[in-house]
Structure 1
Amino acid sequence: MSQDQTQQPQLVIVTGMSSAGRSTTANVLEDLGWYVVDNLPPQMLNPLVQLASRERTPDDEVHAPGLAAVVDVRSRSFFQALQDALFELRTSGAAPRVVFLDAADDVLVRRQESVRRPHPLQGNGRILDAIHREREMLEFVRERADVVIDTSGLNVTQLKTKVSQIFEASELPRLRATVMSFGFKYGLPLDADFVLDMRFLPNPYWVDDLRPLNGNDAGVSQYVMAQDGASVFLDRFVSSLEPVLVGYENESKRYVTIALGCTGGKHRSVAMVNALAERLAELGVQVGTLHRDLGRE
């Protein structure tokens, strides 16, 4: 490897649907010390990396964890060059990581209406038509993204937590996992690599003393894990994951999202997420937990 390549900074490309959370993601990265460039034309990605590489030396004691560039359809016709730019970067050894922000169409429409600004592709048409056009333009990059984050059911704080869990360290780990609880009645998380159903376990909701509590409380956790099948499920799922995690590392997949759901996302799924996170940490996986629907009524 050449000296230039060894000095190349980490590069993260933040892209995705308008109103899906790109700006929030960029702000989190900036708060973590990354150098962030917003609305960068794809043609400028390679010059940006080259410039940062020239300014970065092995003797640097303090430097940003890396570069983050927000690239999206606001660059209009320039955006069409993103595919070629990604190929050029990977050929040069830059190894960019692509983070794709997404959300359901109805959520995007509500968010776009709330900011009282037109969609970049709207013109004189409807917001929904612009969203459909944007999805078509972004299909190729979503399919090749290293991380897809569905923000449909996340508030700003939850999104910040998830992004921080992925990028909080100055050096990217071998593998990082987000283990998420959710309620099926609020919809499936679209960004999950695994979705598992905890509704096979008795529901603590029907126990009067446990109803007002949640899976983070010791009483609920003990109740859930004491049920027939709970420990067996956890043991067998972790065992089945071990070769998958090894394969992810071999294929340079650095992030995995595992979603466990129950009816409302407050009792069974929360307790099992916490138990699964502990087991994954024992395997050397850097784990973060996210309880998507815990605050819902």
Structure 2
Amino acid sequence: MSDLAKIPATADATTDRVVLVTGLSGAGRTACLKALEDIGYEAIDNLPIGLLQLLLEGGGELGGIRRPLAIGVDIRTRDFEVGRLVALIDAAHGATYGANYGDCARDIRLLFLDCDTEVLARRFTETRRRHPLAADRPVMDGIRLERQRIAPLKERADQVIDTSALAPGDLRRRLWTEYALDPRHGVTLTVLSFSYREGLPREADLVFDVRFLKNPHYDAALRPLDGRDPAVARHVESDAGFPPFFEQLTAMLEPLLPRYYEEGKSYLTIALGCTGGRHRSVYVAERLAAWLREAGQQVILVHRDMEQWESRQKIGLPSGEAQTSEKEGP
């Protein structure tokens, strides 16, 4: 029997939780809902307040199945009213439901996503999106107006997360920590790929350097791809040093991870780094995460610097590849 079997598997998810995700436009509500969906929530965005009320009054059943829900609501939601939403949340907590609404003993949490005004303005400018309250006015006016209107939600929130300096992977890890559905899941494992050029991840518990592997960057056909692409995977696997490295890596982790659990450690981050953070480290992280999942472990997979590169590509900003390609090393 594998030593990893000593770490308890995740039990059945809590079904009575509802996380209402709100906050400032551009603060990351969509990314938050996606992360919660990955954890195991049924994610619904922009659910009209009237339907939200019916859902909560009905005990939170969705299609006859009671399950944990993550619901996004903000100023773009149909029939959105701050006062009405606050009253609904208070009622759902049992303040005013009484006998009219039956047994609605649900774990309802209001999560508010905040962000610095200057950062929000830059995000709207870079993505060329129009702020929903700006109309023909400057985006800063829309942000200030929205902040003023939804201030009561921030005051009422069970938790406020400031996303000003959070990368997508950081937000996912924060949500996993705060909103995991089963507190008995043992050690929460994060497998993280990174670029040494961007520095070591501070949160890493174990760091492995994979720069000794054949570098796909030097193959013109592979350079624009990343470590999730089969062609890049074949290139890395063709390195004679990869099979023994991965075998020794897993052989070391198999008895090591249960010891962390036995010592009471709840979170463990395994980081794998290469020069650019897009090819070798990404592929090895994917392989390691798959191996851990096959062993029955819950794994958060984060490609720290590849995510930042992809974000810059989407909005047409320089990725820095041209300036750094000559410095790419083994």
Q: State how far apart, in whole Å, the 1-side matches of 2:23 and 2:271 are.
A: 21
Which runs of structure 2 are paired with 1:1-297 in the superposition (5 Å)? 9-15=16-22, 18-23=25-30, 26=33, 34=43, 36=45, 38=47, 50-53=56-59, 56=61, 62-63=64-65, 65-70=67-72, 88=93, 94-96=106-108, 108-113=120-125, 114-117=128-131, 141-142=159-160, 152=167, 179-185=191-197, 194=204, 197-199=207-209, 201-202=211-212, 204-205=214-215, 208=218, 212=223, 214-215=226-227, 216-221=232-237, 223=239, 226=242, 232-237=248-253, 239-242=255-258, 260-287=272-299, 289=301, 291=303, 293=306, 297=321
Q: State how far apart, in whole Å, the 2-side matches of 1:267 and 1:289 are.
A: 15
Q: State how far apart, in whole Å, the 1-side matches of 2:193 and 2:124 are.
A: 27
Q: State how far apart, in whole Å, the 2-side matches of 1:153 and 1:285 are.
A: 22
Q: State how far apart, in whole Å, the 1-side matches of 2:130 and 2:242 are.
A: 51
Q: CA deviation digits over 1:26-56, x for unaligned, max 9?
A: 5896xx9655554869xx98x6665121x75
Q: State how far apart, in whole Å, the 1-side matches of 2:257 and 2:112 are.
A: 24
Letter in structure 1 aligned against 2:290: E
Pair 1:260–1:16, CA change in 2 (3 A):
farther
% identity of equivalent residues: 27
Aligned to 2:9: none
Cα RMSD (Å): 6.0
In 1, are the aligned partners of 2:92 and 2:108 still within 8 Å (CA)?
no
In the TM superposition, what is the alpha-carbon distance from 1:61 to its structure 2 partner?
Answer: 7.7
SS at match of 1:14: strand
In 1, are the aligned partners of 2:207 and 2:270 still within 8 Å (CA)?
no
Compute the TM-score of the two structures, normalised by the length of structure 1: 0.51
Letter in structure 2 aligned against 1:116: R
In the TM superposition, what is the alpha-carbon distance from 1:97 to its structure 2 partner?
Answer: 6.6
Compute the TM-score of the two structures, normalised by the length of structure 2: 0.47
Q: State how far apart, in whole Å, the 2-side matches of 1:207 and 1:27 are.
A: 31
SS at match of 2:212: coil
Q: Is there any run of 5+ residues in structure 1 with no aligned partner, and where?
A: 1-6
Letter in structure 2 aligned against 1:19: G
Q: State how far apart, in whole Å, the 2-side matches of 1:274 and 1:245 are.
A: 23
In the TM superposition, what is the alpha-carbon distance from 1:233 to its structure 2 partner?
Answer: 4.7
Q: CA deviation digits over 1:132-191, x for unaligned, max 9?
A: x98xx5897147x9xx9x87468xxxx9xx89xx9xxxx9897586644343546888xx
Larger radius of gyration: 2
SS at match of 1:19: coil
Q: State how far apart, in whole Å, the 1-side matches of 2:197 and 2:23 are.
A: 26
In 1, are the aligned partners of 2:191 and 2:302 still within 8 Å (CA)?
yes
Q: State how far apart, in whole Å, the 2-side matches of 1:244 and 1:98 are.
A: 33
Letter in structure 2 aligned against 1:70: G
SS at match of 1:117: coil
SS at match of 1:115: coil
In 2, are the aligned partners of 1:180 and 1:257 still within 8 Å (CA)?
yes
Q: CA deviation digits over 1:103-144, x for unaligned, max 9?
A: 898763322333232779x875987xx6xx98xx5897147x
